[in-house]
Amino acid sequence: MTGKKGLLVVLSGPSGTGKSTVIGALLDLRDDLRFSVSATTRAPRPGEVDGREYYFRSREQFLDMIAADAFLEHAEYVGNFYGTPAAPIEADMAAGYSVLLDIEVQGAAQVMAKRPEAVSVFLCPPSLDELERRLRGRGTDDDDRVRGRLAAARREIAQAKNYDYIVVNDDAHKAARELDAILTAELCRSGRQLRSIPEGEMFP
């Protein structure tokens, strides 16, 4: 990696919007980006692997991690706990990587307060009808849970204005390209560039 410091990137958006899909495409576009693997008390979905999508933990294990101050942030969402382990983020950023957090709005607000330099992006579905189609199409939630996630979605979309950027996921590859452009632009911000160029060498 270069000597330049990476970005802490917070991505939020209602469940079913396509965050995982878009993040997968974005990670293929950027080798300077790492995904922050969260801990959760929810059950794995088919195909999800412990330590890759999430660290799947019991409620007791999760509460132990809170007590040990292991999380940068944590929150309860639709009946389960989710939290961002702090140590891997520090390690990845120290190695020069940018780190992407896929977290809901309460956790994102905690990160923005603790780390004001974080870049925040809200991924929006093209419409609530399309969001419902995606949730039902994914087939991982029963009717009650889909209704719960849609109610949560309305509350979350109301928070989009608090984010630095809003990207609409109508096409997943287009959304990934827009996120890629945001990261590239943020890395080129003058403040960041001036910090990484030795003082007095080019800019007096």
Contact residues for ligand ADP (CB under 6 A)? 13, 15-21, 134, 137-138, 169-172
What is the smallest separation between the CB atom of 144 and ligand ADP, expressed in angstroms?
17
Distance CA 139, CA 5 (A): 40
State both tokens at 41. Answer: 């008390």
Residue closer to ligand ADP by CB (options 17, 187) is 17
Helix (H, G, I), strand (E, B) or coil at 62: helix
Residue type for 122, please?
F
State both tokens at 112. Answer: 């923005």
75 binds, among ligand ADP, ligand 5GP, none (CB under 5 to 8 A by kind): ligand 5GP
What is the smallest separation between the CB atom of 122 and ligand ADP, expressed in angstroms?
12
What is the smallest separation between the CB atom of 14 and ligand 5GP, expressed in angstroms?
7
Contact residues for ligand 5GP (CB under 6 A)? 15, 38, 42, 73, 75, 77, 82-84, 102-104, 106-107
Residue closer to ligand 5GP by CB (options 28, 76) is 76
Work out the burial of residue 200: count CB atoms within 10 Å of its CB; fewer than 13 is exposed, 13-18 middle, 19 or more buried.
exposed
What is the smallest separation between the CB atom of 175 and ligand ADP, expressed in angstroms?
7
Q: Strand pairing of 38-40 and 80-85?
A: antiparallel
Neighbouring CB atoms inside 10 A of 79's CB total 9
73 binds, among ligand ADP, ligand 5GP, none (CB under 5 to 8 A by kind): ligand 5GP
Cβ atoms of residues 71 and 84 within 8 Å? yes
Residue closer to ligand ADP by CB (options 165, 187) is 165
Helix (H, G, I), strand (E, B) or coil at 84: strand
Angle between helices 19-29 and 172-187 (to 10 degrees): 60
Q: In sequence order, what are the residues at sequence separation of 6 or more whose Cβ sits closer than 8 angstroms to the Cβ of residue 144?
A: none
98 binds, among ligand 5GP, ligand ADP, none (CB under 5 to 8 A by kind): none
34 binds, among ligand ADP, ligand 5GP, none (CB under 5 to 8 A by kind): none
Residue closer to ligand ADP by CB (options 55, 93) is 55
Residue closer to ligand ADP by CB (options 57, 134) is 134
